[in-house]
Structure 1
Amino acid sequence: MEKKITSHLNKGLIIGLVLVAIGIVFQVMDIYERWLQWLILGLFCIAIIWACISYASEMEGNVTFGKVFSHGFKTSAVVAIIAIVSFILMYYIMPETKAKIIEKTREELAKNPQMTDEIIESTTSMMDKSYFLFGIIGSIFSYAFIGAIASLIGAGFARKNPNNNMPQSM
């Protein structure tokens, strides 16, 4: 019987949809905290590391560092695409989210005694004008960069015992 390998597309789809679902739950609950973004990125890292280790295990260790890294990074790319599509959909479906995030930013900036009203106003005004662009770029950067780091970690931890009969090309 042929061994079944879970593709990076399937893993990325599952990881992406779970992370989007978590994000939607927190948006519906009206929770817009900075630590929450870090929590979601932490879960993303753990999931990518798992994807790499799982891939090496499914391949019975007959992999190279590069193959495992590639699998993890491709999985990250799928998650990034899902995050971008989710951001775009939420931008139009829940437009109040933008206003809530800008207001939360305004409150955080106001806590800093060095921030003048003019600086706060210009910062939130720029955020308002560039929210869509920053959301897309932020998703790409976060998931690609952090996904690459998690893929490196996952490839490092994955069990590898490549044999000489393995094809050396990617």
Structure 2
Amino acid sequence: NGASFFFICIYMHIGRGLYYGSYMFKETWNTGIILLFLTMATAFVGYVLPWGQMSFWGATVITNLLSAAPYIGTDLVQWIWGGFSVDNATLTRFFTFHFILPFVVAGASMIHLLFLHQTGSSNPTGLNPNPDKVQFHSYYSYKDALGFIILFAALASLSTFAPNILGDPD
């Protein structure tokens, strides 16, 4: 499905960042890792929304992991559940989280790009990229727009012609 395709792209982006040594730019790298966790949270609450057996027990198991936090674990789990077990209140909360988290991801993406423009991109040669810089707007704006169009076309064709290829076998 679309979430699997999105995570494949994220993991390739992280792999490229590791290869290029982008982790040395701490602000950019840390906002990228925060983005990874936010997208994982969005995907998790979206996984629960069909409210089948797999999603019910997935919600039960994953939210129970929070009970391992000292002192506040059980209260945190009960707050997320909206009661003493996974129930309709949990589903309502997860619908809300699934609606709000993409806006948080969009804001974190803007912060990530802001730090990226301040520090500059990494390159595989390790040489100073400052001598001949290309301005971001026009060149990179169009390049990113073309990449978005290609990604969207690939996802649209995948969901149109083979909708079950990346889905859960259930």
TM-score, shorter chain, exceeding 0.5: no
TM-score by length of 2: 0.37
TM-score by length of 1: 0.37
Higher RCO, Cα 8 Å, sep 6+: 1
